[in-house]
Structure 1
Amino acid sequence: MQIPFSPSPTSSLGVEWELALVDRRTRQLRGAATAILDEYQAKIGEHAEQRAKHELFESVIEVVTGVCDTVADAKADLAVTVGLIEDLAASRGLALMCSGTHPITSYADQQISPDPRYRSILERMQWVARRLLIFGVHVHVGVPAQDRAIPVVNALVGYIPHFLALSASSPFWLGLDTGLASSRSKVFESLPTAGLPYLLSDWEQFERFMGTLVSSGTVETIREVWWDVRPHPDFGTVELRICDGLPTLLEVGAIAALTQCLVDRMNTRLDQGYRLPTPQRWVVQENKWRAARYGLDAEILLDERGTTRRVRDEIAALVDDLLPVARRLECVDELTDVLHILQVGSSCDRQRATAQRADGDLSAVVDVLLREMKSRRPL
């Protein structure tokens, strides 16, 4: 199976942000995506590029950017669309929110979106797909050729615990504290084609792998391979998909900057003739679990000898290391917002603190998440 790749000459950027529609009175999720998206399309015009889309459930809308040169451009792009959707939601008694899971709403009560693609996925995967009332942020960064995509994917896999710890925002599931920082990552990886990617040798092996999946009927298209990091041939990007939903635009920008800087540096090193490192899968798997369980308090493995270090210290050192790249990409402010997250805590930390102050009332957690979305910054 040949898979054409649309190269990106620069480290261009695209962001996808999955948002929840929350009833302001009950704080539960409420399905209204079809009506909101129809009105949104009418408002922007029939021929305008759509920046808001359906997801699996009617209570979820995905907001996407166009192709952006800088993180500031991506944040501005998202802010415009989110503002439009917020207004349309408000007229229906709804507000927007984002976290890896909704603290109190059950997936069993939610209506599936009318998109035939999602109906097909649900028919094939049943309960595993029916539970996917989860929210994430995906970041695309351009790579210049298909022979770069697999080495960059493999190298980026080593940073999965960093991104998961920073973005962890799903401690609660069906009204209960799971004891995890990211329950979303555990729910999502139960899909047969989700979770850690296979560490493939080159583009040709990727094509053979995908050809087997399609010809065997495992997937209908390669869009249904939902790895934590994957190449996206149509966009000419590497896509980071590990992150939990982020409640604020500041956090989205921080994650986008960290991703763009890392991929750009990897592209530069390949230009200089270096070989990018491919981590051992078992090390990454253990580190992903530690980040999902402990968030920013995790200690991650640095090597096969069992050397460990606090992930927050690794993240701080990584930001410092990437500052020269950030200056060139004009995202120093957004990259240093990563340090702000380390100071105030991840959304998981903030949610648990809110629940403790409210004597376990998770409606208070929803209220804070709604306020954070509106303020665009962690509270």
Structure 2
Amino acid sequence: MNGPQPIPFASSEQSTLGLEWELALVDSATGELAPHAPAILPSLEYLNADGDRVTKELLTNTVEVVTGVHHRVADALADLSGTIDLVRERAAILGADLMCAGTHPYSQWYQQQITPDSERYETLIDRTRWWGRQMMIWGVHAHVGIADQRKVLPIMNALLAYLPHFQVLTASSPFWAGDATGYASNRAMMFQQLPTAGLPPQFETWAEYEAMVGDLVHTGVIDDNSELRWDLRPSPKWGTLEIRVFDGISTVAEVGAVAALAQCLVDDFAARLDRGEELPRLQPWFVRENKWRAARYGMEAIIIQNADGDERLVTDDTLDVLERLAPTADKLDCAQELAGVRAIIENGASYQRQLQVASRHDGSLREVVASLVAELRDGLPGA
């Protein structure tokens, strides 16, 4: 048997940033998901002349907007906003609005259409069947540049301790197909049902990562490493660490907040490695428990902080993290965006806002969709 093929890690400037944001198309009259992406995307193809900016996704109700590479979070947000405005204009012509959340509150998965003429998506659905068809979910992905391949896995392992913080701040899927699930992030529980999704292994060396990818390719599980849909993964093609744990996020400001947190954490870990420090990490069973607690309890989650098993309310721990990262945020010029994390904690995450809207309107989930559309269009009131 041939050994694993090397997976080169592209050259990338440390702590540069790229964002991917999956947006749902909803009918302006009913709030139901609308399959208009195949009609919208051709008119925006010109945006992709120098790299993907607007792309298709698994379902025809979804458009993904992608930024270029940026040093500052503010510039990445401006990039996103400009593209979203163009998508919104095309959607309006078809009687549709844009919204983003981890799940749609009441549309049914079996009524959604798979994007046609995509061998990748056809293979995914053929393999995963019922669970694959359930993937009526949306997320945000943040790529943060890593300058040295040797730093990728230590930073990834250390960052696993912060996945519950990210999950809580972006939790936006309390409803599924018309039901209140009791989870802040039902999306987190759904997505990990795919065989190559969920939490990543904790690798000690890049050779171990290459060997795992080689094994999975050899046995036909994947065609290449890009099909590993982990919550956190190396992205060798781009020279980045990709954070994929976020639920769909409904406002530009909140995308900026968690992007700044991701950029600052990665940059801080890289600097600590440069100083010769060994980065802390959690046992895999603690990482898994933290993910479940964050998805279930959201802002009320008590998370495991360290390898000794100390525990703390996730919001209190997050506020301390913000204090520690303040100098890094100043260096990266994202202090204003990082302050948005505190605003999420003080004003409520999306799952909390959705539940409040439903409560104020006698359980109306159509009003929840209307609020999500308004948040993406106008931002949060008072923000």
TM-score of Structure 1 vs Structure 2, range by shorter chain: over 0.9
CA distance in 2, matches of 1:361, 1:227: 34
Task: Note the C-alpha offset of 1:304.
Answer: 4.9
Summarize deviations over 1:138-182 as a string: whole Å, max 9, x none.
Answer: 101000121111111101111010000000000000000000000
The residue that corresponds to 2:158 in the other structure is 155
Are the aligned partners of 2:25 and 2:99 in contact in 1 as well (CA < 8 Å)? yes
- Mapped partners of 2:351, 2:289: distance in 1: 20
Bigger drift between 219-228 and 320-329 goes to: 219-228
Report the Cα offset of residue 378 of structure 1.
5.9
For 1:192, the aligned partner's letter is P
Q: Distance in 1 between matches of 2:55 and 2:235?
A: 18
Cross-structure match for 1:345: 348
* SS of match in other structure, 2:60: coil
Aligned to 1:51: 53
Q: Work out the CA distance in 2 between the residues paired with 1:360 and 1:32.
A: 28
Q: CA deviation at 1:303?
A: 3.6
Find the counterpart in structure 2 of residue 322 from structure 1. 325
2:265 aligned to which of 262, 265, 268: 262
**Contact map agreement 1:228 1:240 (CA 8 A) in 2:** yes
Alignment counterpart, residue 302 of structure 1, candidates 301, 305, 311: 305
- Measured in 1, the distance between the counterparts of 2:210 and 2:265 equals 25
What residue number does 1:313 align with?
Answer: 316
- Alpha-carbon distance in 1 for matches of 2:205, 2:338: 30
**Correspondence 1:91-170 to 2 at 5 A:** 91-114=93-116, 115-170=118-173
- AA in 2 matched with 1:12: T
Scaled by the length of structure 1, the TM-score of the pair is: 0.97
Amino acid at match of 1:294: Y
RMSD: 1.2
The residue correspondences of 1:30-41 to structure 2 (distance < 5 A) are: 30-41=34-45
1:290 aligns with 2:287: no
- C-alpha distance in structure 2 between counterparts of 1:75 and 1:37, whole Å: 21
The alignment status of 1:73 with 2:75, answered yes or no, reads: yes
Alpha-carbon deviation of 1:124? 1.4
Q: Indicate if the aligned counterparts of 1:248 and 1:378 stay in contact, CA closer than 8 A.
A: no
- Is the Cα contact below 8 Å between 2:161 and 2:305 reproduced in 1? no
Contact 1:70–1:331 under 8 Å retained in 2: yes
Q: Distance in 2 between matches of 1:256 and 1:28?
A: 29
- The within-5 A match list for 1:168-317 is 168-317=171-320
Give yes or no for the alignment of 1:64 onto 2:70. no
Question: Residue type matched to 1:19 in 2?
Answer: L
- Using the TM superposition, give the Cα deviation of residue 49 of structure 1 relative to its aligned residue in structure 2, in angstroms: 3.4
Listed as ranges, the gaps of 5+ residues in structure 2 are none
- Native 8 Å contact 2:250 2:350 kept in 1: yes
Structure 1 segments unaligned to the other structure (5+ residues): none
How far is 1:126 from its partner? 1.1
Paired amino acid for 1:134: I
Judge conservation of contact 1:251–1:377 (CA < 8 Å) in 2.
no
Deviation at 1:4, TM superposition (A): 0.9
1:60 CA drift (Å): 0.5
57 and 230 in structure 1: CA distance in 2 versus 1, 3 angstrom threshold: same
CA contact (8 A) 1:249 1:377 kept: no
Q: Deviations over 1:184-221 (max 9, x none)?
A: 00000001111111001011100001000011101112
Counterpart Cα distance in 1 of 2:356 and 2:310: 31
* Aligned mates of 2:42, 2:12 — CA distance in 1: 32
- C-alpha change, 1:33 and 1:203, in structure 2 (3 Å) is same
Matches of 2:153 and 2:14, distance apart in 1: 17
- The structural deviation recorded for 1:347 is 0.1
Q: Secondary structure at the match of 2:154?
A: helix
What TM-score comes out, normalization by structure 2 length? Answer: 0.96
The DSSP-based 3-state class of the residue aligned with 2:141 is strand
Distance in 1 of aligned mates of 2:366 and 2:155: 41
Give the C-alpha shift of residue 346 in structure 1: 0.3
Structure 1 residue matching 2:328: 3-state secondary structure: helix
In the other structure, the counterpart of 1:358 is: 361
Quote the Cα distance in structure 1 between the aligned partners of 2:374 and 2:360: 16
Query: Aligned pair count?
Result: 377
Q: Partners of 2:81 and 2:275 in 1: how far apart?
A: 37
Shift of 1:129: 1.0
Q: What is the CA distance between 1:77 and its match in structure 2?
A: 0.5
Q: Is the 8 A contact 1:143 1:237 kept in 2?
A: yes
State the Cα distance separating 1:128 from its structure 2 match. 1.5
Which is further off, 18-27 or 145-154?
145-154
SS at match of 2:63: strand
> Which of 80, 86, 89 is the matching residue for 1:87?
89
Q: In structure 1, what residue type is equivalent to 2:200?
A: P
Partner SS, residue 126 of structure 1: helix
Distance 2:265 2:70 in 1: 16
